[in-house]
Chains A and B, each alone.
Chain A
């Protein structure tokens, strides 16, 4: 009798899941070597652990290329099963227009509120108390990468913070090195400036400007120091004629440049080049001054579909993305930090461990993506790319323009 019951139960489950097997197209822009390896962990888990199929919809190019494609597909009535976006304000209007699936029931069933650390990641997915996205990783901008070889060639010790780095810059120049490697894409200019802000102006001033949009502080003395430092950094980066961030990272890897300010995704480049953290290169979170990390990252959104079978598959995928073993497998390959603190990442390298420690101690910031609209960020990028490339653009003028942008921000 018991056997029959089990059998019946099994049949029922099998029938139910077979009926709901669905193909889920997932769009994302993870196309570089390490990224593709990481996303295939998701696909593998989804294909093996559920009855559904992961249909990979990778879009080549950066987020800037992929996002408009993704958004126009959702708006145009051809929604994919799931899509990567940076959580924050990019999807705000899509949610308001009712185009994205409400994941609140999944989040409650899985207890996301208790496991997602830092909780700000989940807040970024939440609008009016409802949850609309599944955060999968944390990327932080606040890192400086230093080449041991460059400093050895210049006869200098590897700096432990920004001031020491500035002091050693003349020796680097004398040794024929570019002190600071800097790509010329707008987002890099704006990002490096953001990192310098937190290190130099301090967290309170940063919060006042970025979160509360206080233009007076943006025009004030703390930010003046940041702009002075940035103007100084501009001179140190004057000879790095590269466009892409990974070309700039490569200057550091090959010892042609002393350092680069870049997010933790740069680590993948060092790994590919076979370098070891602590031996060949050093990473300084928060420029070695304020050890704080912001918590930007990637999240998956699930556009609304009419088919209940697909909706069930979407919810299963959402739950799966946050499950412990999938998080470990994905983040080790991606080089990013996991969104839950209760999993074992002892395989991570020196730099990732530093990041995990900071994360565990709670020294975290909400990211710019979460506070500033894409429009404001676009204006800041325009300003920064001009400022970093035009030596005649004075720090005071740039600061004035910056304060204007903050005053207009919404």
Chain B
């Protein structure tokens, strides 16, 4: 912090850099902050097909939202999908990366195979898994064809577990990417650490858990943010795989927002729902940002 003492003028320092970033700052202010404020304001109105800033209704849209079973089911599904997918993709991603990092033969081949699903869009992933999980064409019929007649694996047609069918597809698509991030992190670990651990006679798995993982904190944070943002906006996967069915068993918040805004022609309701989504992101993000950045400054 020696800079601060002889800083002549905060504004003129690095002037070119500041001028260059003006467009980005303006975009962020107008598009992110401005449009968010506009959306939040209109969520307090009775906007239908067109925004109606003068039809103020207070919290009515929110009251209706939280009395809607479909919204509550959506939130519950997002929680199940979110928690499971967060934990599983981190665990699977890290395990795969650790296995690849053991200097195995054909690492490139495996890395490509594991990463490949990430190159597919959610729509393709959803359709592919819709077929794989279809009882008449997919896994169930194949296994039954092998002679195991009573085998039943039909998650997408069962209300209780349909969301896990979507979870499978989501993890299949996303964990390869987490693996690559983790692998990059593992490659950043100094070889000396491993040598030291070996000299001390610490078992490999213990080295991973107590030494390597704490050292990879930044990688974990990056992976966490990327996975979490993917969870909040999950939409196309559900649309392609189940369209929210059976019944409303696999509805998610983003789908509620889109359908209320464009199919039901009720912008106010859609805005209220999207504001709640924003709020839920902030609830997660603010404590994290405080810990991450606030903590460093104090240190």
Contacts and interface: CB of A to CB of B under 8 A. Distances in A.
Q: Pick from B157, B265, B266 the residue with the most CB of A within 10 Å.
A: B265
Nearest to B46: A410
Interface stretch (A33-41, A192-200, A308-316, A370-378): A370-378
B243 A243 contact: yes
A97 B51 CA distance: 11
Interface in A382-404: 382, 385-386, 388-390, 401
Contact of B248 (A241, A375, A378, A386): A386
B260 interface: yes
Interface stretch (A64-72, A149-157, A221-229): A64-72
Interface string A60-96: 0000100110010001000000000000001011100
A97 B50 contact: yes
A375 B264 contact: yes
Nearest to A382: B70
Contacts of B248: 382, 385-386, 389
What DSSP secondary structure best describes chain B's contact surface?
Answer: loop
A93 B48 contact: yes
Interface residues of B, number: 24
A275 interface: no
Nearest to A401: B69
Nearest to A374: B265
B253 to A, nearest CB: 14
A36 to B, nearest CB: 24
B12 to A, nearest CB: 43
Contacts of B260: 375, 378
Contact of A94 (B49, B247, B262): B49
A386 B266 CA distance: 21
Contacts of B249: 389
Q: Pick from A92, A377, A378 the residue with the most CB of B within 10 Å.
A: A378
B264 A374 contact: yes
Interface residues of A, number: 28
B247 A93 contact: no
A185 interface: yes
A184 interface: yes
B247 A64 contact: no
B45 interface: no
A149 B269 CA distance: 47
Given A94-B49, A243-B243, A243-B245, A378 B157 contact: no
B233 interface: no
Q: Pick from A71, A377, A382, A385 the residue with the most CB of B within 10 Å.
A: A382
A401 B67 CA distance: 10
B245 A389 contact: yes
A379 B256 CA distance: 11
Interface in B206-264: 243, 245-249, 259-260, 262-264
B243 A67 contact: no
Given A93-B50, A241-B157, A382-B70, A374 B263 contact: yes
B247 A375 contact: no
A255 to B, nearest CB: 18
B159 interface: yes
Given A68-B263, A386-B70, A390-B159, A375 B48 contact: yes
Contacts of A92: 49
Interface in A242-260: 243
Contact of B247 (A373, A374, A379, A388): A388
Given A375-B48, A386-B248, A64 B243 contact: no
A382 B263 contact: no
19 contacts: A67-B262, A71-B49, A93-B265, A94-B49, A97-B50, A374-B264, A374-B265, A375-B266, A378-B260, A382-B69, A382-B70, A386-B69, A386-B70, A386-B247, A388-B247, A389-B159, A389-B247, A389-B249, A390-B159
